[in-house]
């Protein structure tokens, strides 16, 4: 059975009264696009190592699907335990859940869904945990010790990153978005986390800047330690960088949430300018491990997951 499935596949299984076995699909990552996802390559070895008889698959759900209540009901009926959710469906998944954890609620997005035995659908967001752990792995530093700029703060991934940075009390946070009006609400939501005198006061510790303000953007980046790219720019062939290369400085740490390709135009430019870089593969690893624990109430063998992810990245 292919690991890439469609809604037509689900409908066919439901019409026939049974899904494939040996083992049966019980977990999935849903998104659009989703064919590039390395989640099955990472999760399947962890399931096998834990002796769990389940297959993890990719499920292409078009962006035009704007309600997930019926999809979740269908997945539950087919025996799915849960799903991971990627762009552009994280907010839609949250809206369709019966119960959401604090992280998903604060971030306005869910990346992990559990179809629980009590008949309810539970939404979680492990993106923030995954990002923080990945940054610690790559740069040996915690979010609380950094002045951070998030590019694409208006999207689901950017919002998740911003909330995590605020909750971890980073030294300073700059929210960057193409349209500033889209992040003003987020800025106000996070402001209570930046009201002490850790640096020089609330106004200077948190701000929002538009990509169409190059002078202001360059000034803010000069005072930044860590740049986080939360946009999808650089994922598709031929795309450029979300930031002008000349704005990336040697002292910067640059973390791109994209993991395929492993080195985006942003990371290549940053590396060429002498900055330290990391892609999103370890973020995928750590958020995936947290999702596994939610589904099964036990931690996976993260070493098995890491090796599988590295092998798949090289394939």
Domains of the chain: 4-125+283-314 (3.40.50.10860), 128-279 (3.40.50.720)
Residue 70 marked as a ligand binder: no
How does pLDDT run across 266-284, given as a tens digit for each residue?
999 999 999 999 999 999 9
Known binder of ligand: residue 236?
Answer: no
Write down the catalytic residue from 18, 49, 58, 90.
90
Question: What does the mean pLDDT of the chain come to?
Answer: 94
Please, which residues have CB within 8 angstroms of residue 83's CB and are 6 or more apart in sequence?
Answer: 27, 28, 29, 30, 59, 75, 93, 112, 113
Is 90 annotated in the active site? yes
Closest alpha carbon to 115 in 98, 94, 102:
98
Helix residue ranges per DSSP H, 140-260: 156-167, 184-190, 202-205, 214-222
Reported confidence tier of residue 48, pLDDT bands at 50, 70, 90 = very high
Sheet holding 147-151, edge to edge: 206-210, 172-177, 147-151, 226-229, 253-256, 276-278
Q: Do residues 252 and 275 touch, judged by C-beta distance below 8 A?
A: yes
pLDDT score of 1 more than 60: no
Q: Is 229 assigned a ligand-binding role in the annotation?
A: no
Residue 7 CA to residue 13 CA, distance in Å, equals 10
Question: What is the reported pLDDT for 202?
Answer: 44
pLDDT recorded at residue 17? 82
Is 224 marked as a binding-site residue? no
Q: What tens digit of pLDDT does each residue of 244-265 get?
A: 999 999 999 999 999 889 999 9
Q: E strands of 138-267, at which residues?
A: 147-151, 172-177, 206-210, 226-229, 253-256
Rg (CA), the chain: 20
Q: Rounded CA gap, 119 and 235, in Å?
A: 37
* Residue-level pLDDT at 200: 52
Q: In what order do the strands lie in the sheet with 99-100?
A: 4-6, 55-60, 25-31, 82-85, 112-115, 121-124, 99-100
280 is in an annotated binding site: yes
Cα–Cα nearest to 107, from 166, 49, 147: 166
Q: Is 276 annotated as a binding residue?
A: no
Q: Are strands 253-256 and 276-278 parallel, antiparallel or unpaired?
A: parallel
Cβ-proximal residues to 16 (8 Å cutoff; 6+ apart), any chain: none
Structure-token pair, residue 12: 């066919």
């Amino acid at each position: 059975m292919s690991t890439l499935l469609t809604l037509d596949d689900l409908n066919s299984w439901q019409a026939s009264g049974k899904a494939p076995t040996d083992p049966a699909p019980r977990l999935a990552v849903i998104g659009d696009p989703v064919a590039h996802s390395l989640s099955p390559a990472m999760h399947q070895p962890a399931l096998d190592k834990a002796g769990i008889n389940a297959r993890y698959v990719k499920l292409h759900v078009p962006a035009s699907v704007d309600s997930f209540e019926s999809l979740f009901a269908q997945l539950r009926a087919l025996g799915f335990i849960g799903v991971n959710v990627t762009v552009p469906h994280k907010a839609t998944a949250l809206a369709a859940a019966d119960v959401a954890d604090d992280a998903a609620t604060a971030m306005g997005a869910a990346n992990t869904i559990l179809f629980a035995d009590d008949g309810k659908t539970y939404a979680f967001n492990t993106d923030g945990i995954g990002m923080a752990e990945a940054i610690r792995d790559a740069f040996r530093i915690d979010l609380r010790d950094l002045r951070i700029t998030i590019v694409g703060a208006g999207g689901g991934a950017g919002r998740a990153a911003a909330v995590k940075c605020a909750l971890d009390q980073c030294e300073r946070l700059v929210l960057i978005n193409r349209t500033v009006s889209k992040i003003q609400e987020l800025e106000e939501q996070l402001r209570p986390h930046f009201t002490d005198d850790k640096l020089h006061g609330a106004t200077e510790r948190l701000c929002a800047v538009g990509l169409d303000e190059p002078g202001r953007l360059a000034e803010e980046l000069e005072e930044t330690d860590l740049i986080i790219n939360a946009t999808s720019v650089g994922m598709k062939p031929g795309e450029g960088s979300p930031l002008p290369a000349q704005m990336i400085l040697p002292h910067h740490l640059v973390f791109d949430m994209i993991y395929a390709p492993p080195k985006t135009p942003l990371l290549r430019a940053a590396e060429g300018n002498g900055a330290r870089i990391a892609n999103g593969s370890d973020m995928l690893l750590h958020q995936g491990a947290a999702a596994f624990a939610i589904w099964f109430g036990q931690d996976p063998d993260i070493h098995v997951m890491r090796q599988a992810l590295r092998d798949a990245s090289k394939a």
